Amino acid sequence: MSKTGQSIIFTVSKNLSNLIKHLSLGLAGVFLLINVVDVLISIFFRYFLRSSLIWTEEVARYTLIYAVMFGATAALSYGEHVHISVFARRLPAPLGRLVRWIRNALITGILLLMTYLSVQYAKGGWRSRTLALGIPRAIPLMALPIGMALLVIQYVLVEITRAYSQRNEEESS
Amino acid sequence: MTALMLIIFLLLLLIGIPIFIALLIASFAGILYLGDLSLLRVIPQQFFGGMDVFTLLAIPLFILTGNLMNRSALTDKLLDFCRVLVGHLRGGLGHVNVVASIVFAGINGSAAADASAIGSVLIPAMAKEGYDRSYAAGITAGSSLIGPIIPPSIFMVLYGAMTNQPIGALFAGGVIPGLLLGVAFMIMNHYYSVKYDYPVSNRRASLKEITETTRHSIVALIAPIIIIGGILLGIVTPTEAGALAVFYVAIVGFFITKKLTVKLFIEAILETVRSTSVIFVIMGGAAALCWLLKWEQVPQKVAMMLVNVSNNPTVLMLILSAIIFVIGMFMEEVAALILLTPVVAPVAMMAGINPIHFGIVMTLNITIALITPPMGACVHIVSAVGKVPLEKMFKDIWPFVGVSMIVLLLVILFPPLVTFLPGILNL
């Protein structure tokens, strides 16, 4: 591929991955905020108005799952998911490159598979409804395919950006 | 199949694949090995189910409380209070460090928050008074272990969620062992202070000064009372206590200490959501793998094997503790807890060990891993905030590991240290 072609791909993936990073973090934050306010509302009704609301528990559980699934993409962008980097970093260059390819293939593969499987799982949820809110179960379940799809897209973008800037560094040094 | 999944999982970790993804790949490999592809649908089901647990709702709230506290300058108030309380003893600031961790532990469920908040203030202060820097960092890391033992505790919520044990009882069970840790570190601090002639930091405060300071720091002291009192007396659930603590700390930060701004609040929320996600996706991945392990009856097999080695509960707990200690040295602590609990908890149940007792032993064990080199998170934190080279810290931390191991041993040998409080509180 030509140099300009590569640099366009680099710029696009860098900007797109930045956008996804901020968007997923923001959305995750909003869901967490709703979650906290919801728990506070439930306490207020239970202790001060002496009547429990039935929907607060489901709202709390489902907003947290959405917060987590968006947050997972944000955490990926910041490189915060728990992993062990000590060994992989010490490998000699050619082996290190091979390991990186294996890692990329495995992570992308499993995330794609998880996206597909969770779409199937969520589809089944349109037939039943949640107990308290009475919404289709697919609505909370959708957090999974959305989160997994975002993760795989973000992973690929981050890797493209990283690989390109690393090559540039090597060339300039 | 189990051996295959374990080898694959370890290989994946070695090449730097994030734990939650490694768990998913290992589950997938296990299903391929069984040859029944219809089982694949179980993976997303378990992943979702592992995160969709009511008790887990407490976790982001506990993390958020800590993040808000650090941004609300509540830590400073706590330290003022501890200073008048124990600052006049020999090695005063060392004692202040431990007592502050005890009070802090009642608000915050994580040791890392404790180590960074208290360490950033006290390590420089201690170094200025002539303490050895690595000793100051060591006692900060050591006493931060009290955080996850005195309620609230993120580790205990995870353990309780995975073993279906009441969180309230676990929290109550942690109170005495947590205080014991505090006493142990204070004894240690006294010994070192006499040996190296560390200074007295304050003159003894008059009763008037004590009441005055208490009045000023009362806002910081109320938080642990709401949380621990509310949960232990059964007035609120752990999740509700977490929400109340968030509310309280936010109000104090915005309107009383006036240090919290909307920007800092948003920052705290965003930091919380990222740490929470990291924990939850591991819970999800572990649930998928554990489902397969249970399908293959692995926990029962491991239990049978270990019970054959010895059916004495104490010996078993010592063996399990040794295993957890070694794994904890090399693995991130939350991940270690999530991965080990489903395998070792059934062993303990089968041997007739009280599940609450075992929960505290396990939590304490994993907590100690926070200060064992080379992976212990708190060692890294105090080395960074205290500006002590990591290699030096790795060497000088061992006496503190030793002291906490003694406490662990006491807790293993004397179960009432754990079971007494939940018993009288009927939890």
Is the Cβ of A153 closer than 8 Å to some Cβ of chain B? no
The predicted-structure confidence for B74-84, as pLDDT tens digits, reads as follows 888 888 888 88
Chain B residue with CA closest to A110: the answer is B25
CB contact under 8 A, B270 and A88: no
Chain B residue with CA closest to A114: the answer is B44
Residue that is written with structure tokens 């609120």 in the block: B236
Which among B17, B52, B57 has the least Cβ separation from residue A106? B17
Averaged over B416-424, what is the pLDDT? 94
CB contact under 8 A, A118 and B52: no
CB contact under 8 A, B15 and A103: yes
Averaged over B377-394, what is the pLDDT? 91
Distance from CA of B19 to the nearest CA of A (A): 6
Is the Cβ of A67 closer than 8 Å to some Cβ of chain B? yes
Q: Can you say whether residue A134 is alpha, beta or left, with left for phi > 0 and alpha for psi between -120 and 50 degrees?
A: left
* Cα torsion angle, B292, B294, B297, B301, sign: positive
pLDDT > 70 fraction of chain B, expressed in percent and rounded: 100
Contact B74, B104 (CB under 8 A): no
Quote the pTM value.
Answer: 0.89
Which among A29, A61, A102 has the least Cβ separation from residue B15? A102
Confidence at residue A7, expressed as pLDDT on a 0 to 100 scale = 85
Chain B residue with CA closest to A25: the answer is B270
The predicted-structure confidence for A27-52, as pLDDT tens digits, reads as follows 999 999 999 999 999 999 988 888 88
Q: Where are the domains of chain A?
A: 3-172
CA–CA separation, B422 vs B427, rounded Å? 5
Report the 3 state secondary structure along chain B: CHHHHHHHHHHHHHCCCCHHHHHHHHHHHHHHHHCCHHHHHHHHHHHHHHHCCHHHHHHHHHHHHHHHHHHCCHHHHHHHHHHHHHCCCECHHHHHHHHHHHHHHCCCCCHHHHHHHHHHHHHHHHHHCCCCHHHHHHHHHHHHCCCCCCCCCHHHHHHHHHHCCCHHHHHHHHHHHHHHHHHHHHHHHHHHHHHCCCCECCCCCCHHHHHHHHHHHHHHHHHHHHHHHHHHCCCCCHHHHHHHHHHHHHHHHHHHCCCCCHHHHHHHHHHHHHHHHHHHHHHHHHHHHHHHHHHCCHHHHHHHHHHHHCCCHHHHHHHHHHHHHHHHHHCCHHHHHHHHHHHHHHHHHHCCCCHHHHHHHHHHHHHHHHHCCCCCHHHHHHHHHCCCCHHHHHHHCHHHHHHHHHHHHHHHHCCHHHHHHHHHCCC
Is the Cβ of A28 closer than 8 Å to some Cβ of chain B? yes
Q: Give the range among B65-69, B308-312, B368-372, B387-391 with minimum mean pLDDT.
A: B308-312
Which among A39, A88, A89 has the least Cβ separation from residue B239? A39
CA angle B219, B96, B139 (to 5 degrees): 125
CA–CA separation, A170 vs A122, rounded Å? 45
Whether residue A25 has pLDDT greater than 90: yes
Whether residue B116 has pLDDT greater than 90: no
3-state percent helix, strand, coil for chain A, nearest multiple of 5: 80, 0, 20
Amino acid in the structure at residue B178 = G
What long-range pairs does B37-41 form, CB within 8 A, spacing at least 24? B40/A117, B41/A117, B41/A120, B41/A121
**Contact list, B246 vs chain A (CB under 8 Å):** 36
Residue that is written with structure tokens 């649908």 in the block: B41
Confidence of residue B159 (pLDDT cuts 50, 70, 90): very high
Confidence of residue A94 (pLDDT cuts 50, 70, 90): confident
Whether residue B345 has pLDDT greater than 80: yes
Averaged over B392-420, what is the pLDDT? 96
- Cβ within 8 Å of residue B219, ≥6 positions away: B74, B77, B252, B256, B257
Neighbours of B42 (CB within 10 A): 19
The predicted-structure confidence for B189-247, as pLDDT tens digits, reads as follows 999 999 998 888 777 888 888 888 888 788 878 878 888 888 888 888 889 988 988 99
Confidence at residue A70, expressed as pLDDT on a 0 to 100 scale = 97
Confidence at residue A61, expressed as pLDDT on a 0 to 100 scale = 95
Which among A57, A81, A85 has the least Cβ separation from residue B278? A81
Mutate to test the interface with B, among A25, A83, A141, A158 (most CBs of B within 10 A): A83
Which among B16, B40, B275 has the least Cβ separation from residue A88? B16
Is the Cβ of A146 closer than 8 Å to some Cβ of chain B? no
**Over chain B, what is the mean pLDDT?**
90
Q: Which of residues 101-140 of A touch B (CB under 8 A)?
A: 102-103, 106-107, 110-111, 113-114, 117-118, 120-121, 140
ipTM for the predicted complex: 0.94
CB contact under 8 A, B15 and A111: no
Q: Distances in Å between the alpha carbon of B269 and those of A36, A77, B69, B169?
A: 10, 17, 12, 29
Confidence at residue B155, expressed as pLDDT on a 0 to 100 scale = 94
Q: Distances in Å between the alpha carbon of B210 and those of B82, B182, B201, B252?
A: 10, 21, 15, 22
The count of residues in chain B is: 427
Confidence at residue A1, expressed as pLDDT on a 0 to 100 scale = 62
Whether residue B375 has pLDDT greater than 90: no
CB contact under 8 A, B15 and A35: no
CA–CA separation, B382 vs B138, rounded Å? 8
Pick the more confident residue, B301 or B261: B261
Pick the more confident residue, B139 or B257: B139
- Cβ within 8 Å of residue B129, ≥6 positions away: B93, B198, B199, B201
Chain B residue with CA closest to A42: the answer is B240
Confidence at residue A122, expressed as pLDDT on a 0 to 100 scale = 95
Chain B residue with CA closest to A88: the answer is B15
Q: Give the range among A68-72, A148-152, B31-35 with minimum mean pLDDT.
A: B31-35
Confidence at residue B228, expressed as pLDDT on a 0 to 100 scale = 85
Whether residue A158 has pLDDT greater than 90: yes
**Contact list, B44 vs chain A (CB under 8 Å):** 114, 117-118, 120-121, 144
**Contact list, B281 vs chain A (CB under 8 Å):** 68, 72, 81
Confidence at residue B29, expressed as pLDDT on a 0 to 100 scale = 93
* Cα torsion angle, B215, B216, B220, B223, sign: positive
Confidence of residue A74 (pLDDT cuts 50, 70, 90): very high
Whether residue B111 has pLDDT greater than 70: yes
The predicted-structure confidence for B285-297, as pLDDT tens digits, reads as follows 999 998 988 888 8
* Longest CA span, chain A: 70
Distance from CA of A172 to the nearest CA of B (A): 27
Residue that is written with structure tokens 């089901």 in the block: B45
User: How buried is residue B388: exposed, middle or buried, by Cβ count under 10 Å (0-12/13-18/19+)?
Assistant: buried
